[in-house]
Structure 1
Amino acid sequence: MTLQDALKAEVDGEVRFDAGSRAAYAHDSSNYRRPPVGVVVPHSVDAAAAAVAVCHRYRVPVLSRGGGTSLAGQCCNEAVVIDWSKYCNRLLSVDPDARTAVVEPGICLDDLNSQLSEHRLMVGPKPSTHDTCTIGGMIGNDSCGASAQAYGKMTDSVVRLEVLTYDGLRMWVGETSDAEYERIVAEGGRRAEIYRDLRALRDQNMALIRTRYPDIPRRVSGYSLDQLLPENGFHVGRALVGSESTLVTVLHAEISLVPVPDHQSLVVLGYDDIESAGDAVPEIAAYRPLALEGMDDYLLDLARMSHLASGTVLEEMPEGSGWLMVRFGGDTRAEADDKARALIEGTRDASPPPRCAFVHDPEEEERLWKVREAGLGATAYPPHHRDTHEGWEDAAVPPDRLGSYLRDFRSLIREYDYRPVTLYGHFGQGCVHTRIPFDLSDDEGVRRYRQFAIRAAELVSDYGGSLSGEHGDGQSRGELLPIMFGDDVVRLFRRTKRIFDPDERMNPGRVVDPLPINEYLDLHSYHPPEPSTHFSYPEDGGHFSHAAARCVGIGKCRSSSGGVMCPSYRATREEEHSTRGRARLLDEMMRGDVIDDGWRSEEVKDALDLCLACKGCRSECPVNVDMATYKAEFLSHHYAGRKRPMSHYSMGWLPVWARAAAVAPRLANTALNLPGLNRVVKRVGGIDQERQLPRFASERFTDWFRRRPRRTAGTPVVLFPDTFTNNFHPHIAQAAVRVLEAAGHRVVVPPRPVCCGLTWISTGQLDQAKKRLRRTAEMLEPALRAGVPVIGLEPSCTAVLRADAPELLPDDPLVPLLRETARTLAEVLDEEQATLGGPSPGASHGLVAGLDRDPVRALAQPHCHQHAIMGFDADARVLRRAGVDVEVLDAGCCGLAGNFGFESGHHEVSVTIAEQGVWPAVRDADDSTAILADGFSCRTQIEAGTDARPKHLAEILADLLPEGDEDSEGGERAKDADRSKDEQRAKDGQRRSGAERRA
């Protein structure tokens, strides 16, 4: 029986040795690549223990993995990877009085803190990856984060651990009194042997451990043998924290908790440079803040260029080129603010005093804090500079020597010409983050990287610091540990390894007998042939190979709440169905090693199948991975010269079928919705049987517009008649006409059909998409050259004009004009400051509304493509000026996403996504609250699962206009009676279907 067969037979879980799974787990967030032997996703902690037992029998290495965000290479190895995050993620118990909790290792930090919030408790350490990292990973890595300034490292949070050795011993370990030690030894067996050997190691080397471990708050490198000292209670549990899965497998953890600060305040101190900010750290730390972070001007510039910092946030920053961000907490707002004011008053005597800013608005404070948290993403691909990498990104020195260290470290960077480099980090504890533009693609670049790392290690050691102050040793620093600790302490590490793992099968090559730092470097072996592509990939130098390798593994796509990405991961909890997992498969496809059939790969196709192409990752991924574009590119090559899925012909060619249906829309509706025939149509078209087919309007918007009287007065705007609005919801375009004319515009509609090509793009039929985009640009040429705004009502279509079109047709001279003139309705009204209460000062036009109307409340579900490309700020401002109190949902994708939710086999995932966010939010809304959803998909999905009748922005604004302000044809209020009846019947059927599913 093979290892794989044995695991499948004996482990209650998912056992995967396929190429796709191995590709998805071949990387972490480091410079290294090691495809695993296989992957086990256990259904329970006991199942994980069974997997280790099988691996022990077959003498195969084992590696535990949580969020997979390790930056030093400790989470990728040629081993059986145990992924704890999908199933072993429970909070088992909480003791609010003792402030402790028992958890499984796969629980995400933010999810755990959310569950603890009812007790007003939280985990102390909070890394920047708090929305994706797991407690098991934090224990393996001894995680810290900014909050470690107040609450310490993960070492300080561990009370006890239940661990499993490779040879099968399962035990709880923690602080060990002399009496407990004697009891354990008296019982005999493997546990007694481990404790006896650890005590002997400690007693024989007590002086060495006390003198060679740096006395600093951020020592993460090496094994924590100092926790075995008598003054630390011979704490075997804490001694295992930070051991990177090289000694034991953690099964459960009992951790201590801290109270959630009721109120926080933020002071930002500006200095002439980052080194001066470092000099000031001891003085500022004396005020005992919750966090004390440092940041230089280059990081702020990168945040601005990456759109991580808004103009409002930047205005809060005091003058300077280096800053300290100082956070205080208190039981009351006054207490937190008083601490901040005391700091500001105290710094007046400094020479020279820093410039100070006191951030009063909690929302602004949080946005500013996120700029610092997003450092890794902002610095990975600096515009107009070489890509940067980890390799020396988290060293720590005594805080009182930080300024001097920064000067010497910057000199070393200049010596190697590794510039520009940003310096930031947890300055209150002397931890400095940076990413350096190492050239890791050729032998000479790797040689220089290795030489620099040795010099940097020597510099840190001279300062009495730690090679790692947060990210661990992994492969990046394991080889350098003798420089920091000396050979004698490293021999103790080897002795510790043999006590717990005599077979040396636990994550081998890390900490003990480490691999050289220059072995298995990801980019050193990455020289794939460059394929010919449809998209131009301007942010990747025109290279798809660079785009495929763009992901740096931060894992923000694995968050369980908030933001847009990644909806399919949230529904499946599968690495392969996260943006990161898909990016890893595309990367491996380009390498041709694990995945060796290129564009024809079924593994890549399967991973991309559940990608909703929502484009959330384009804006929310810290390094702007654009999986929707990559999916379209892949599908175009995968199906080149081959038969496509039927959904590509039915929904991909929707604009063609819609034009045909316009000849006899009622007949088309009847034919498509007859029982029996309806099922046949769906089966032939690759459409899921659970979905109701959209109903064509009895009259298209363009036909309605053509027969209405022409308006000659006003500033011209072009209204783009997209397929969805024109053929299914023409009343929205009619409402937009009414709003625009009330704002003083003359609405122009193209005389012949235009199309953005969206449905062809989403199905990877890119030649067809380009053909239609060219035709559309030519049709609009007079308006484009005149600079007339082209207003899109369907967000996904507007996003194509703004983003996809320039990347599909980079050499077409009209496309840049199309991108510049394409606007949403809200953007046009916002730019002109149009209001529903009359014209704003300086505006030439205004929308006039009655002043005696009742307050209007709206709940908005922004379309994902709008979120990614245009944003919702203009909409919010327009609504606010119109007197609409709008709440913008942070519920993620609706789950329909164009053709995705209609395609056969996607319904369950689509509904799961909706139930995780938008459906509950809409159902909970007050009956008087308008549901705002500009996207056709969003409206369709909301109607499918709720009783709501969502509206477009144009409808809400039109409803606020005075009753008499209608055109001669009755305008938007002359709703299509057939549509109302037909859609109500379809909605009733959908509601019954949804109710049956929920029951």
Structure 2
Amino acid sequence: MADGKPSTSDPAVLDVAALERALRRRVDGEVRFDAGSRGAYATDGSNYRQVPIGVVVPRTVEAGAEAVAVCARFGAPVLSRGGGTSLGGQCTNTAVVIDWTKYCNRLVSVDAERRTCVVEPGIVLDELNRQLAEHALQFGPKPSTHSHCSLGGMIGNNSCGASAQAYGKTVDNVRRLEVLTYDGARFWVGATPDAEFERILAAGGRRAEVYRGLRGIVDRYLGDIRRGFPNIPRRVSGYNLDSLLPEKGFNVAQALVGSEGTLVTVLRAELELVPVPSFDAILVLGYPDICAAADDVPHLLEHCQPTQLEALDGRMAQLMREEHAFLDSLDGFPEGDSWLLLQFTGDSQESVDEAGRDLLRALGRSEDDKTVAFSDDPQREQRMLKAREAGLGVTARPPDDRETWEGWEDSAVPPSRLGDYLRSLKELFTEFDYDHPSLYGHFGQGCVHTRIPFGLKSAEGVARFREFLLRAADLVVSYGGSLSGEHGDGQARGELLTRMFGDRLVAAFGEMKALFDPDNRMNPGKVVAPYRVDENLRLGPRWRPDSHATHFGYPDDQGSFTRAVMRCVGIGNCRTHTGGVMCPSYRATGEEEHSTRGRARLLFEMLGGHADSAVTDGWRSKEVRDALDLCLACKGCKSDCPTGVDMATYKAEFLSHHYAGRLRPAAHYSMGWLPLWARLSRVSPRLVNAALHAPGFARLGKGLAGVAVQRQAPVFAQESFIQWWRSRDVPDPDPADPRAVLLWPDTFSTYFHPGVAKAAVRVLEDAGFRVAVPARSVCCGLTWISTGQLATAERVLRRTLDVLRPWIEAGTPLVGLEPSCTAVFRADAPELMPENQDVQRLAAQFRTFSELLLNDTPDNWRVPSLARSATVQTHCHQHAVSGFDADRELMRRAAIDADVLDAGCCGLAGNFGFERGHHELSMAVGEQGVLPAVRQSPPSALIVADGFSCRTQIEQGGTGRHAMHLAEVLALGLQENAPADHPEKLADRPTHSLRDARLLTAGALAAASGCVAAVVALCKRRRR
């Protein structure tokens, strides 16, 4: 069959190959039916998993509509997907997934006067609000996933967030929708006055059929709709039949909001906008427990109308402290074991401050009370609100080794009954032995979030999970509440809807579904005629993942690679586009497969355990290899992922198994063994540089080495740091000397940029330290780890430990200059050799340059003052592992006005940006933030970057700027502050720019050219 009609509409016998061919021929987009793409989209943020038939990424809205038309001709189910963070299983299905987020993400138009805008479904909320900022407008609802959730997804789920306290749910902010039915009808819907309704009927066609059918459903079930929908702020469950009531204006757009892609495909949306508040303040109230906090909510609402009224309990605070997360947020909280956070906004600071103080007076409390914290400092407010916003990530992987899951994570009740509901819910937890789940949420609207330690890996655990959900559904209904107050039904709550709405209203939902989608091809099995809550589980009693012997020890995951991979629960923070580091490859490509979450999904599929696993060849999987190939191993996810996924480590582990006993890519031998080649360069660095930069020969060499031809090879220094150090002939201090410090001679600061290490020596000696350098060659094994040559890396580390043993035993501080090497000793080495006590000691003794100078210097030493402005790029491993607070403080003391970029990864990332096939992505990542920021820096500003990769990318990225290590900056300060006749004043300023290094090798290049010419002439004479 070509483009013709399918012989059957049953997905089980769908002609998938013909469907794929037709989609490729007809759709302007990326059509993917490969195992890798299907595996990356096999689940969302829920407990459920269904491998899709294929994935379509349309380039335009029209192309997306064409994809639906092709699927309809074949009878293929369709699932529209946004950010894929749904917790109810709405975004996983055996269907053709249409991902709108990569291309269909435009703000189409803005009408600032009417406060409306039109958007495409793939636009992310934060990006929409960024573009609306010039109009001082925003879209009101703001879920905690605002940095990566799409408006199409928000419309599908009827999303809310904390700001719904002031602005309502998504349904309250949608004016019109352009929708497409599965059978091809396309039209705009909204509120429908009687005259408009009659015009639609008179026009006839499919649209008239839909409107007539909807009116019939309302007429037949009018009493049920008026009685059966709980009148509470947070009712998200079920279809919005109440929006079709006459008093609601027969609003078809609002009736379709929250239908989770089961009725129509949303192509465009016209949204209501609200002004951006000019001023705000936050009031935090402490309580002895979360139930007491909930009891106070109705009383608070009697006296104020806050923009947000959020809650978190002592259990969440405990988890934050145990995980060392968001501690700066908790520092602003008052005394108590649970807290309510109220935000006030307005047109003046005086009005919002007075609103908070008025409430305190009404409560008989004051700002001086120990259980009260009041702030109108925006930065402090954001820190405190982040504690609440971080709930899902903090509770997803508690450090007590329990696994917590969604399933009953967003029930809602009338705020007036919230305290009693929480007590009953706690009793239910106790009955089922689900000990101590955290309770938090949008308490001003009665919405409760929690994650529960369901046992989803055994038949007994799954049976209890099902029984709990049935009991919990009856409980929330008994309080006049809703199964879902924010996340929707999907599969998690679809089966439970009869317990909330009764048989007649659920039958009405079925009629609405049949009206729009009579063949049940739009996201089937969700909301209407749903799968059971215990079907399609991502785990379940039949899940049998393969066991894997690994190189890394995974000490935080009970030594299990499987548990490590399962850290990803689908939150989707790796799909953000600004701030932090994670995930540079997703930011550059917009590809789910190249997000941290997408890679984790593929690794999960690789583990096996399901009969329909998308990835079937384990460690040898080409699909997993291709997904990991564009992972920069920046480790940004290790710190930025709320659950601590460390994809760089997983990548190294995978590569070690994938290439075991096989020939590796050439780059693994060239750059993976860089420390060895660097040491060999000492034989004749001039000739090595000449060869690396000679036209023709360099291109050939790059081809053989697997290096991108667009890259310039770094230049080896004429004199390495070790050679310079030995020429000083200064005896090493005794390791036990309290002033002794061992300077780590990393490959980059030793052989390429020795000026960095020399500058560090100058500064450390000025600070009173007695500097030592290892007498024998040492290496942290970084390049072997990053290329997955883990057995070699371990041998290198063991040899290094032998050399360092006297210093380790003496407890001597070791100081690192290269952030990636520091990260090896702080993180990678302890995980690679978790039982080796010397590795653990070394990790504790290893300092960054800034940490040592701040914490271990004599009190009388003063940081050399430079009084300069600087643009500072934080190395990804600094951000993720060692932290940057010490560097900030050191620069402050040096009177450096530092603009520390929050622009993400530089894009070079060690060997990644040098490898063949990575140059384009590497530069795309750099151009997203770092490189433009450097170009825009004032000529007088210093460019500071401690990472060799960052400095190289800045110099090779067309910025025209030379980047310095902080050690060089401080050495420059010493030089500028020294007396005129001081030797320091006369010392050469450290330099390692690519331009200057090339000048150093010009003579060698000329000599090499002369040699080549002589050889050619000799050959010609011999031929004659």
TM-score range, shorter chain: over 0.9
- Report the alpha carbon displacement of residue 845 of structure 1 after superposing the two structures with TM: 4.0
- Tell me which of 693, 718, 731 is aligned to 2:713: 693
Instruction: Specify the SS of the correspondent of 1:617.
Output: helix
Q: What CA distance in whole angstroms lies between the structure 2 residues aligned with 1:553 and 1:110? A: 19
The one-letter code of the counterpart of 2:742 is V
- Tell me which of 818, 824, 831 is aligned to 2:848: 824
Contact kept? 2:755, 2:992, Cα under 8 Å: no
Instruction: Specify the SS of the correspondent of 1:846.
Output: coil
Q: What CA distance in whole angstroms lies between the structure 1 residues aligned with 2:848 and 2:385? A: 31
Mapping for residues 364-443 of structure 1, pairs under 5 Å: 364-443=380-459
Contact kept? 1:732, 1:972, Cα under 8 Å: no
Mapping for residues 922-933 of structure 1, pairs under 5 Å: 922-933=934-945
1:494–1:91 Cα change, 3 Å: same
Q: Does 1:982 align with 2:997?
A: yes
Mapping for residues 796-835 of structure 1, pairs under 5 Å: 796-832=820-856
The equivalent of 1:590 in structure 2 is: 607
The equivalent of 2:35 in structure 1 is: 19
The equivalent of 2:725 in structure 1 is: 705
The equivalent of 1:646 in structure 2 is: 666
The equivalent of 1:324 in structure 2 is: 340
The equivalent of 1:846 in structure 2 is: 861
The equivalent of 1:631 in structure 2 is: 651
The equivalent of 1:526 in structure 2 is: 543
1:23–1:744 Cα change, 3 Å: same
1:974–1:136 Cα change, 3 Å: closer
The one-letter code of the counterpart of 1:772 is V
Contact kept? 2:117, 2:272, Cα under 8 Å: yes
Contact kept? 1:19, 1:594, Cα under 8 Å: yes
Instruction: Specify the SS of the correspondent of 2:544.
Output: coil
Q: Does 1:952 align with 2:965?
A: yes
1:862-884 deviation line (CA, Å, top 9, x unaligned) = 10011100110010011111211
Unaligned runs of 5+ in 2: 3-17, 1003-1024
Instruction: Specify the SS of the correspondent of 2:553.
Output: coil
- Tell me which of 56, 72, 75 is aligned to 2:91: 75
Contact kept? 2:690, 2:1001, Cα under 8 Å: no
Instruction: Specify the SS of the correspondent of 2:380.
Output: helix
Kindly, what percent of the aligned residue pairs are identical?
59
Deviates more, 1:211-220 or 1:50-59: 50-59
- Report the alpha carbon displacement of residue 979 of structure 1 after superposing the two structures with TM: 7.5
1:768-822 deviation line (CA, Å, top 9, x unaligned) = 1111111111211111111111100000000000000001111222100110001
Mapping for residues 605-620 of structure 1, pairs under 5 Å: 605-620=625-640
The one-letter code of the counterpart of 1:539 is D
1:877-914 deviation line (CA, Å, top 9, x unaligned) = 11111211212100000000000000011010011111
Q: What CA distance in whole angstroms lies between the structure 1 residues aligned with 2:619 and 2:642? A: 27
- Report the alpha carbon displacement of residue 526 of structure 1 after superposing the two structures with TM: 2.8
Q: What CA distance in whole angstroms lies between the structure 2 residues aligned with 1:331 and 1:754? A: 62
Q: Does 1:157 align with 2:173?
A: yes
Instruction: Specify the SS of the correspondent of 1:803.
Output: helix
The equivalent of 2:792 in structure 1 is: 768
Q: Does 1:274 align with 2:290?
A: yes
Mapping for residues 762-911 of structure 1, pairs under 5 Å: 762-832=786-856, 843-847=858-862, 849=864, 855-911=867-923
1:650–1:231 Cα change, 3 Å: same
Deviates more, 1:359-368 or 1:781-790: 359-368
The equivalent of 1:342 in structure 2 is: 358
1:226–1:205 Cα change, 3 Å: same
1:974–1:893 Cα change, 3 Å: closer
- Tell me which of 482, 485, 489 is aligned to 2:498: 482
The one-letter code of the counterpart of 1:959 is L
Contact kept? 2:863, 2:890, Cα under 8 Å: no
Q: What CA distance in whole angstroms lies between the structure 1 residues aligned with 2:875 and 2:996? A: 26
The equivalent of 2:12 in structure 1 is: none
Q: What CA distance in whole angstroms lies between the structure 2 residues aligned with 1:285 and 1:76? A: 38
Instruction: Specify the SS of the correspondent of 1:280.
Output: helix
1:808–1:967 Cα change, 3 Å: farther
Contact kept? 1:794, 1:934, Cα under 8 Å: yes
Q: What CA distance in whole angstroms lies between the structure 1 residues aligned with 2:559 and 2:447? A: 37
Q: What CA distance in whole angstroms lies between the structure 1 residues aligned with 2:241 and 2:738? A: 78
- Report the alpha carbon displacement of residue 211 of structure 1 after superposing the two structures with TM: 0.7
- Tell me which of 940, 961, 964 is aligned to 2:952: 940
Instruction: Specify the SS of the correspondent of 1:519.
Output: coil
- Report the alpha carbon displacement of residue 932 of structure 1 after superposing the two structures with TM: 0.9
Contact kept? 2:555, 2:834, Cα under 8 Å: no
Deviates more, 1:312-321 or 1:182-191: 312-321
1:849–1:533 Cα change, 3 Å: closer
Q: What CA distance in whole angstroms lies between the structure 2 residues aligned with 1:901 and 1:542? A: 31
1:895-951 deviation line (CA, Å, top 9, x unaligned) = 000000000110100111111110111111111111110000000001112111111
The one-letter code of the counterpart of 2:927 is E
Q: What CA distance in whole angstroms lies between the structure 2 residues aligned with 1:977 and 1:578? A: 34
Q: What CA distance in whole angstroms lies between the structure 2 residues aligned with 1:493 and 1:966? A: 88
Q: What CA distance in whole angstroms lies between the structure 1 residues aligned with 2:979 and 2:876? A: 36
Q: What CA distance in whole angstroms lies between the structure 1 residues aligned with 2:924 and 2:654? A: 26
Q: Does 1:916 align with 2:940?
A: no
Over aligned residue pairs, what C-alpha RMSD do you find?
1.8
The one-letter code of the counterpart of 1:951 is M
The equivalent of 1:568 in structure 2 is: 585
- Report the alpha carbon displacement of residue 313 of structure 1 after superposing the two structures with TM: 3.0
1:204–1:670 Cα change, 3 Å: same
1:15-70 deviation line (CA, Å, top 9, x unaligned) = 11110011000000000000001111111111111111111111111110000000
Mapping for residues 232-247 of structure 1, pairs under 5 Å: 232-247=248-263
The equivalent of 1:538 in structure 2 is: 555
- Report the alpha carbon displacement of residue 354 of structure 1 after superposing the two structures with TM: 8.4
- Report the alpha carbon displacement of residue 302 of structure 1 after superposing the two structures with TM: 1.4
Contact kept? 1:714, 1:744, Cα under 8 Å: no
Q: Does 1:361 align with 2:381?
A: no
1:972–1:434 Cα change, 3 Å: farther
1:190-236 deviation line (CA, Å, top 9, x unaligned) = 11111011111112221110111000000000000000001110000
- Tell me which of 596, 608, 612 is aligned to 1:579: 596
Deviates more, 1:705-714 or 1:218-227: 705-714
Q: What CA distance in whole angstroms lies between the structure 2 residues aligned with 1:977 and 1:867? A: 24
Deviates more, 1:632-641 or 1:332-341: 332-341
The equivalent of 2:281 in structure 1 is: 265
Unaligned runs of 5+ in 1: 835-842, 988-999
Contact kept? 1:474, 1:510, Cα under 8 Å: yes
- Tell me which of 186, 189, 197 is aligned to 1:181: 197
Q: What CA distance in whole angstroms lies between the structure 1 residues aligned with 2:982 and 2:638? A: 41
- Report the alpha carbon displacement of residue 976 of structure 1 after superposing the two structures with TM: 6.6
Q: Does 1:621 align with 2:641?
A: yes
What TM-score, normalized by structure 2, do the two folds share?
0.93
The one-letter code of the counterpart of 2:567 is R
Q: What CA distance in whole angstroms lies between the structure 1 residues aligned with 2:683 and 2:279? A: 63
- Report the alpha carbon displacement of residue 975 of structure 1 after superposing the two structures with TM: 4.2
What TM-score, normalized by structure 1, do the two folds share?
0.95
Instruction: Specify the SS of the correspondent of 2:284.
Output: strand
The one-letter code of the counterpart of 2:765 is E
Instruction: Specify the SS of the correspondent of 2:759.
Output: helix
- Report the alpha carbon displacement of residue 672 of structure 1 after superposing the two structures with TM: 1.1
The one-letter code of the counterpart of 1:824 is T
The one-letter code of the counterpart of 2:418 is L
The one-letter code of the counterpart of 2:291 is E
- Tell me which of 315, 322, 334 is aligned to 2:331: 315
1:99-143 deviation line (CA, Å, top 9, x unaligned) = 000000000111111100110111010000001100000000000
- Report the alpha carbon displacement of residue 349 of structure 1 after superposing the two structures with TM: 6.2
Contact kept? 2:182, 2:517, Cα under 8 Å: yes
- Tell me which of 67, 70, 79 is aligned to 1:54: 70
Q: Does 1:88 align with 2:104?
A: yes
Q: What CA distance in whole angstroms lies between the structure 2 residues aligned with 1:812 and 1:150? A: 55
Q: What CA distance in whole angstroms lies between the structure 2 residues aligned with 1:663 and 1:46? A: 63
1:444–1:774 Cα change, 3 Å: same
- Report the alpha carbon displacement of residue 315 of structure 1 after superposing the two structures with TM: 2.6
